[in-house]
Amino acid sequence: MEMGKIIGASLRKSCGQLLARKCDEKERAFKKQRVPAK
C-alpha cells in the first residue's frame, strides 16, 4: 500500500505537467461531445 502511494506520488511529480495537459484535452473533447454544436 505505502509503496504504491510513494511510487504514485513520484510519478505524478515527474509526469504532472504532461498528465495535466492530456486531462485538459480529454476534458475539452468531453465537453464538446456533451454540448451539441449549434
CA distance 6 to 28: 30
- The tally of domains found in the chain comes to 1
CA distance 15 to 23: 12
Q: Which domain holds residue 26?
A: 1-38
pLDDT of 36 reads 67
Whether the Cβ atoms of residue 12 and residue 19 lie closer than 8 Å to each other: yes
The H or E element that residue 11 is part of is: helix 2-34
The 10s digit of each residue's pLDDT in 1-38 is 577 676 667 766 655 677 777 768 888 888 888 776 66
Q: List b or e across 3-32, with b for residues whose CB sees 16 or more CB atoms inside 10 angstroms.
A: eeeeeeeeeeeeeeeeeeeeeeeeeeeeee
